[in-house]
Amino acid sequence: MRLKKIAVIGPESTGKSTLSEQLAKHYGTEWCPEYAREYLLKYGKTYTYDDLLAIAKGQIDLEEKFTSLVKNKMASGGRPLLFIDTDMYVMKVWCEFVFNKCHRYILEQIAERKYDLYLLCNVDLPWVKDELREYPDLDTRKKLYFIYKDIMINQQAPWVDISGNYEERLQKAIDEVNKLISK
Protein backbone atom coordinates (compact mmCIF):
# COMPACT_ATOMS: atom_id res chain seq x y z
CA MET A 1 0.00 0.00 0.00
CA ARG A 2 1.33 3.44 -0.98
CA LEU A 3 1.69 6.29 1.50
CA LYS A 4 -0.78 9.09 0.81
CA LYS A 5 0.26 12.62 1.72
CA ILE A 6 -2.34 15.27 2.54
CA ALA A 7 -1.09 18.87 2.69
CA VAL A 8 -3.00 21.40 4.78
CA ILE A 9 -2.44 24.93 3.52
CA GLY A 10 -3.84 28.44 3.79
CA PRO A 11 -3.22 31.80 5.44
CA GLU A 12 -2.16 32.10 9.07
CA SER A 13 -4.72 31.49 11.80
CA THR A 14 -7.00 29.34 9.66
CA GLY A 15 -6.75 26.18 11.75
CA LYS A 16 -4.11 24.30 9.74
CA SER A 17 -2.24 22.89 12.73
CA THR A 18 -5.42 22.05 14.62
CA LEU A 19 -6.89 20.27 11.60
CA SER A 20 -3.67 18.37 10.86
CA GLU A 21 -3.45 17.16 14.44
CA GLN A 22 -7.16 16.21 14.57
CA LEU A 23 -6.92 14.25 11.33
CA ALA A 24 -3.81 12.39 12.45
CA LYS A 25 -5.55 11.46 15.68
CA HIS A 26 -8.74 10.41 13.85
CA TYR A 27 -6.82 8.13 11.48
CA GLY A 28 -4.27 6.90 14.03
CA THR A 29 -1.27 8.24 12.14
CA GLU A 30 1.21 11.12 12.20
CA TRP A 31 1.18 14.76 11.20
CA CYS A 32 4.13 16.89 10.24
CA PRO A 33 4.05 20.26 12.01
CA GLU A 34 4.97 23.60 10.49
CA TYR A 35 8.72 24.13 10.84
CA ALA A 36 8.43 27.94 10.59
CA ARG A 37 6.92 28.17 14.06
CA GLU A 38 9.86 26.29 15.63
CA TYR A 39 12.37 28.37 13.65
CA LEU A 40 10.85 31.75 14.48
CA LEU A 41 10.42 30.91 18.17
CA LYS A 42 14.12 30.00 18.27
CA TYR A 43 15.58 32.85 16.18
CA GLY A 44 13.01 35.61 16.62
CA LYS A 45 10.06 36.79 14.61
CA THR A 46 12.04 39.35 12.58
CA TYR A 47 13.05 37.37 9.52
CA THR A 48 14.83 37.95 6.23
CA TYR A 49 14.38 36.54 2.75
CA ASP A 50 17.25 34.11 3.46
CA ASP A 51 15.51 32.96 6.65
CA LEU A 52 12.59 31.82 4.49
CA LEU A 53 14.98 29.59 2.54
CA ALA A 54 16.24 28.07 5.82
CA ILE A 55 12.63 27.57 6.92
CA ALA A 56 11.74 25.90 3.60
CA LYS A 57 14.69 23.51 3.91
CA GLY A 58 13.75 22.78 7.52
CA GLN A 59 10.16 22.05 6.45
CA ILE A 60 11.36 19.59 3.79
CA ASP A 61 13.68 17.87 6.28
CA LEU A 62 10.85 17.59 8.81
CA GLU A 63 8.47 16.22 6.19
CA GLU A 64 11.05 13.60 5.17
CA LYS A 65 11.49 12.59 8.82
CA PHE A 66 7.73 12.10 9.24
CA THR A 67 7.47 10.33 5.88
CA SER A 68 10.05 7.79 7.06
CA LEU A 69 8.31 7.42 10.40
CA VAL A 70 4.95 6.65 8.79
CA LYS A 71 6.53 4.27 6.26
CA ASN A 72 8.19 2.39 9.13
CA LYS A 73 4.86 2.15 10.95
CA MET A 74 3.19 0.94 7.74
CA ALA A 75 5.51 -2.07 7.76
CA SER A 76 3.80 -3.17 10.98
CA GLY A 77 0.23 -2.34 9.95
CA GLY A 78 0.15 1.44 10.44
CA ARG A 79 -2.13 3.67 8.35
CA PRO A 80 -0.60 4.85 5.06
CA LEU A 81 -1.49 8.50 5.69
CA LEU A 82 0.59 11.55 6.55
CA PHE A 83 -0.94 14.95 7.22
CA ILE A 84 1.40 17.85 6.49
CA ASP A 85 0.84 21.27 8.05
CA THR A 86 2.30 23.59 5.39
CA ASP A 87 4.11 22.82 2.14
CA MET A 88 6.23 24.70 -0.35
CA TYR A 89 3.22 26.52 -1.80
CA VAL A 90 2.93 28.22 1.60
CA MET A 91 6.62 29.13 1.43
CA LYS A 92 6.18 30.49 -2.11
CA VAL A 93 3.24 32.67 -1.11
CA TRP A 94 5.11 33.88 1.98
CA CYS A 95 8.24 34.79 -0.02
CA GLU A 96 6.32 36.54 -2.76
CA PHE A 97 3.89 38.35 -0.46
CA VAL A 98 6.62 39.76 1.80
CA PHE A 99 9.64 40.02 -0.52
CA ASN A 100 8.14 39.97 -4.06
CA LYS A 101 10.41 37.09 -5.08
CA CYS A 102 10.84 33.40 -4.35
CA HIS A 103 13.88 31.17 -3.88
CA ARG A 104 14.61 28.77 -6.73
CA TYR A 105 14.86 25.92 -4.19
CA ILE A 106 11.23 26.43 -3.18
CA LEU A 107 10.05 26.45 -6.80
CA GLU A 108 12.07 23.30 -7.54
CA GLN A 109 10.54 21.56 -4.53
CA ILE A 110 7.03 22.51 -5.69
CA ALA A 111 7.75 20.89 -9.05
CA GLU A 112 9.35 17.80 -7.50
CA ARG A 113 7.11 16.99 -4.53
CA LYS A 114 3.71 15.38 -5.02
CA TYR A 115 0.73 15.29 -2.68
CA ASP A 116 -2.42 13.25 -2.95
CA LEU A 117 -4.80 15.89 -1.59
CA TYR A 118 -4.72 19.51 -0.53
CA LEU A 119 -6.97 20.90 2.18
CA LEU A 120 -7.18 24.68 1.70
CA CYS A 121 -8.25 26.33 4.96
CA ASN A 122 -10.51 29.31 4.48
CA VAL A 123 -10.37 32.54 6.51
CA ASP A 124 -13.82 32.20 8.07
CA LEU A 125 -12.45 31.35 11.53
CA PRO A 126 -11.74 34.28 13.85
CA TRP A 127 -8.12 35.41 13.78
CA VAL A 128 -6.29 34.33 16.95
CA LYS A 129 -3.40 36.49 18.12
CA ASP A 130 -0.12 34.85 19.00
CA GLU A 131 3.47 36.04 19.13
CA LEU A 132 4.22 35.05 15.51
CA ARG A 133 1.15 36.05 13.51
CA GLU A 134 1.38 39.09 11.26
CA TYR A 135 -1.93 39.74 9.50
CA PRO A 136 -4.94 40.27 11.78
CA ASP A 137 -6.96 42.25 9.23
CA LEU A 138 -9.54 40.30 7.27
CA ASP A 139 -8.80 42.03 3.95
CA THR A 140 -5.18 40.81 3.96
CA ARG A 141 -6.25 37.33 5.05
CA LYS A 142 -8.80 37.19 2.21
CA LYS A 143 -6.20 38.38 -0.29
CA LEU A 144 -3.86 35.61 0.84
CA TYR A 145 -6.64 33.02 0.72
CA PHE A 146 -7.41 33.90 -2.90
CA ILE A 147 -3.72 33.62 -3.80
CA TYR A 148 -3.79 30.07 -2.40
CA LYS A 149 -7.06 29.30 -4.16
CA ASP A 150 -5.61 30.44 -7.49
CA ILE A 151 -2.63 28.15 -6.93
CA MET A 152 -4.92 25.22 -6.15
CA ILE A 153 -7.02 25.79 -9.28
CA ASN A 154 -3.88 25.85 -11.42
CA GLN A 155 -2.14 22.72 -10.10
CA GLN A 156 -2.94 19.05 -10.71
CA ALA A 157 -3.62 17.45 -7.31
CA PRO A 158 -7.15 17.21 -5.92
CA TRP A 159 -8.03 19.90 -3.40
CA VAL A 160 -10.96 21.02 -1.32
CA ASP A 161 -11.88 24.26 0.43
CA ILE A 162 -12.18 23.73 4.17
CA SER A 163 -14.53 26.18 5.86
CA GLY A 164 -16.99 26.41 8.72
CA ASN A 165 -16.45 25.98 12.43
CA TYR A 166 -13.84 23.55 13.75
CA GLU A 167 -16.25 20.57 13.80
CA GLU A 168 -17.50 21.26 10.27
CA ARG A 169 -13.95 21.61 8.99
CA LEU A 170 -12.92 18.33 10.54
CA GLN A 171 -15.93 16.49 9.13
CA LYS A 172 -15.41 17.91 5.64
CA ALA A 173 -11.73 16.95 5.76
CA ILE A 174 -12.57 13.42 6.99
CA ASP A 175 -15.09 13.01 4.15
CA GLU A 176 -12.45 14.04 1.58
CA VAL A 177 -9.74 11.82 3.08
CA ASN A 178 -12.18 8.90 3.13
CA LYS A 179 -12.81 9.45 -0.60
CA LEU A 180 -9.06 9.49 -1.20
CA ILE A 181 -8.36 6.26 0.68
CA SER A 182 -11.32 4.43 -0.88
CA LYS A 183 -9.82 4.84 -4.37
Where in the chain are the domains? 4-182
Whether residue 88 contacts residue 102, with contact meaning beta carbons closer than 8 Å, is answered with no
User: Using CA atoms, how far apart are residues 9 and 12, in angstroms rounded to an integer?
Assistant: 9
Q: Is 116 helix (H, G, I), strand (E, B) or coil?
A: coil
User: Using CA atoms, how far apart are residues 109 and 112, in angstroms rounded to an integer?
Assistant: 5
**Binned average pLDDT, 10 residues per bin, the chain of 183 residues:** 94 93 97 94 92 98 97 92 96 97 98 97 83 72 96 97 96 97 87
Q: What is the pLDDT of residue 152?
A: 98
Q: What is the pLDDT of residue 50?
A: 97
User: Using CA atoms, how far apart are residues 171 and 154, in angstroms rounded to an integer?
Assistant: 26
How deeply is 172 buried, as exposed, middle or buried, from its count of CB atoms within 10 A (0-12, 13-18, 19+)? middle
Beta strand 159-162 pairing with 30-32: unpaired
Q: What is the pLDDT of residue 86?
A: 92
Fold for the domain defined by 4-182: Rossmann fold (3.40.50)
Beta bridge partners of residue 91, listed in sequence order: none
CA 3 → CA 72, 74, 77, 180, 182, distances in Å?
11, 8, 12, 12, 13
CA-closest candidate to residue 161, choices 147, 175, 171, 172: 172
What are the b/e assignments for 31-64, b being 16+ CB within 10 Å?
bbbbbbbebbeeeeeebeeeebbebbbebbebbe
Q: What is the pLDDT of residue 137?
A: 75
